[in-house]
Amino acid sequence: MPTSALTGSQPGTTYVSMGQLKPLKIKLELASAGGGGCGTTGGEGKASCGSSDGPQDMPAEVWDKVKNHPCYSEEAHHHFARMHVAVAPACNIQCNYCNRKYDCSNESRPGVVSQKLTPEQAVKKVVAVASAIPQMTVLGIAGPGDALANPKKTFDTMRMLTARAPDIKLCLSTNGLALPDLVDEICKHNIDHVTITINMVDPEIGAKIYPWIFWNHKRLTGIEAATVLHQRQMLGLEMLTARGVLTKVNSVLIPGINDQHLMDVNREVKKRGAFLHNIMPLISEPEHGTVFGLTGQRGPSAQELKAVQDACMGGANLMRHCRQCRADAVGLLGEDRSDEFTLDKLDAMEVVYDLEKRKAYQDKVEQERSAQQAAKQQALAAASALQAAQDLKVLVAVATKGGGRVNEHFGHVTEFQVYEVSAAKAHFVGHRRVDQYCQGGAGDDEQLPSVVRAINDCHAVLVAKIGACPRDELMLAGVEPVDAYVGEFIEKAALDWFNDYRARVASGAVLHQHRGDAAIRQGAYTALAA
Ligand code: CLF
Ligand code: SF4
């Protein structure tokens, strides 16, 4: 089938030439030693996560779109929340990592959507959440199927919401198959942010991920299906770029299938104007009932994920703070408050949509954010004044419940944030989910080893408080528990700890050792004990 018949492409449009694609070897050692980067221009010297960029790094109108979007700005994700409404149940393709009983893996961790909503119910819910959570700035539609395989429900929701709450940014996520046909509609509804899940630019690899697609009233399989999907994704991305819509690309890292290929994906999506590239770990367990789960396809370890992300530095800007949220998630990334806003609870809620109050709150958050920046700069200035080993670089886990501060007890953590720290910078590189250690007021010693495994590649963990038992266990594992920076901004605390650490290394008080790998937690959290 000619390309133009599949995509409606214009003469001169460049598509990836399948014959030209060659697998690139990713050297894990290289990346973990800090020498990573695929060697293309633009990435050196930047914080590894392009989405950490500030107003000085982009045009004002782009900054205006990203500054309060928790997914498009790493910095914003400490302060601003998003919510999803599950109005899009159908899907037009099948991914081997998806079971329709579970959330869309494009944007979700496995876990059933509690309630599918009509557009009317969805708008009611968004307005109620925005009234209760003034830092909620973005509505996303991310399933549980594909937003654009359900265009009427998706766009009806967006249209009605804009009329009720014009300050909320609109965002959607798609596999891209229907995208080229709906770009005009996306623009008509002022949807500024679109995510396309692109796992390959080579249909031979695609055929291992997608058993079928449904396109033009036909079910296509194998290489043919993957070819159509690939071409539609590339065309859709180009069309969004041409219209100034900020586009993020999500890729699921599937070891042995596309791990060595994601640098090609990164390069190709950058070429077509993607604003961000979000490389996420495959979550795959037999109990999810997915093809990959049932055939034993594993997800990557924490260091494998980081190595692929590091290898892509210098290409399209990387997002590393994705939480693979549910299709009905509510709250800051990493927290889920959807239980507070079920349909029956909404009926009993008094909803006052106060634009001024929301704006006042967001202005306060801006001040806090500036203070965080200033603290970081101050700590960096102090660090550069020290004469010590300049080449040390370590990972530090942080217990935080938001606001960009060290403010959570070790036992209450369900997610550690991980920062890479050197004399030159402290920047966010990922997060690690864990089952909460403190259950019903006491530490659960059975959970402890899995918590330690999740941060086993870190040299220290910064916490607000920690008990004697986990402290001993961490020290035994070689992770230093640190409670000296309670309430401080994370980057400043991490840099201050690092300066102290390298002074200890320089004096011989501590022997600096390379850390091992860490585990990425699969599946849903263990339920908390009552
Ligand atoms: Fe939702 Fe996605 Fe919009 Fe964000 S999520 S539709 S861009 S508002 Fe964000 Fe969640 Fe990761 Fe998605 S953390 S899964 S990247
Ligand atoms: Fe599942 Fe989303 Fe893939 Fe559709 S696009 S099969 S809903 S993961």
Q: pLDDT tens across 269-317, in order?
A: 999 999 999 999 998 888 888 999 999 999 999 999 999 999 998 877 8
**Three-state SS string across 190-226, please?**
CCCEEEEECCCCCHHHHCCCCCEEEECCEEEEHHHHH
**Pair of tokens at residue 380:** 């960096």
Rounded CA-CA distance 256/242 in Å is 34
Q: Which residues neighbour 210 within 8 Å (Cβ) at sequence distance 6 or greater?
A: 93, 94, 95, 96, 225, 226, 229
pLDDT at 45: 29
Position 102 scores a pLDDT of 57
For ligand 1, what atom is nearest to the CA of residue 323? 13
- Closest atom, ligand 2, to C-alpha of 175: 5
Give the nearest ligand 2 atom to 197 CA.
Answer: 5
Highest mean pLDDT among 56-60, 154-158, 164-168: 154-158
Q: pLDDT (tens digit, 9 = 90+) per residue, 126-135?
A: 999 998 888 8
Question: 11 falls in which pLDDT band (50, 70, 90)?
Answer: very low
39: CB partners within 8 A, 6+ apart = 314
Q: Is the CB of 168 under 6 A from ligand 1?
A: no
Among all bound ligands, the one having the nearest atom to the CA of 281 is 1
278 lines ligand 1 (CB under 6 A): yes
| Look-up of token digits 């914003």 | 76
In angstroms, what CA-CA distances link 389 with 81, 119, 135, 393, 427? 39, 58, 41, 10, 19
SS (H, E, C) 358-409: HHHHHHHHHHHHHHHHHHHHHHHHHHHHCCCCCCCEEEEEEECCCCCECCCE
Tell how far the Cα of 147 is from the centroid of ligand 1, in angstroms.
13
Ligand 2 atom 3 nearest Cα: 95
Per the CB < 8 A criterion, the answer to whether 149 and 95 are in contact is no
Q: Which H helix or E strand runs over 432?
A: strand 426-433
Edge-to-edge strand order for the sheet containing 212-215? 93-94, 212-215, 218-221
**Percent share of the chain, pLDDT over 70:** 84
Ligand 2 pocket member 301 (CB < 6 A): no
**Which is the closest atom of ligand 1 to the Cα of 333?**
13
CA 79 from chain center: how many Å? Answer: 15
Closest listed ligand to the CA of 144: 2
Q: Mean pLDDT score of the chain, rounded to an integer?
A: 82
Task: Report the DSSP beta bridge partners of residue 262.
Answer: none
C-beta of 398 in contact with ligand 2 (< 6 A): no
What are the φ and ψ backbone dihedral angles of 473, each rounded to 5 degrees? -65, -40
Q: In terms of Cα–Cα distance, which of 429, 425, 398, 394 is closest to 512? A: 394
Q: Is the pLDDT confidence value at 24 over 60? A: no
Helical H segments across 57-108, by residue range? 60-66
What's the 279 CA to ligand 2 centre distance in angstroms? 16
Inform me whether the pLDDT recorded for 9 exceeds 60.
Answer: no
3-class SS at 158? Answer: helix
Of the ligands numbered here, which is closest to the C-alpha atom of 93?
2
Q: How confident is the model at residue 326 (pLDDT cuts 50, 70, 90)?
A: confident
Which residue did the predictor score with more confidence, 416 or 30?
416
279 lines ligand 1 (CB under 6 A): no
Q: What is the mean pLDDT of residues 398-426?
A: 90
Checking if the pLDDT of 211 tops 70, the result is yes
- Which are the contacts of 478, defined by CB distance < 8 A and separation ≥ 6? 459, 513, 515
CB 179 within 8 A of CB 148: yes
Task: Give the strands of the sheet with 318-319, arranged side by side.
Answer: 318-319, 276-281, 246-253, 193-197, 169-174, 136-141, 81-84, 330-332
Statement: the pTM of the whole predicted model exceeds 0.85? no
pLDDT of the residue at 13? 31
- Work out whether the CA dihedral 491, 492, 497, 502 comes out positive or negative: positive
Nearest ligand by distance to the CA of 104: 2
Q: Tens of pLDDT along 470-491?
A: 999 999 999 999 999 999 999 9
On the question of pLDDT at 189 being above 70, the answer is yes
Residue minimizing CA distance to atom 11 of ligand 1: 322
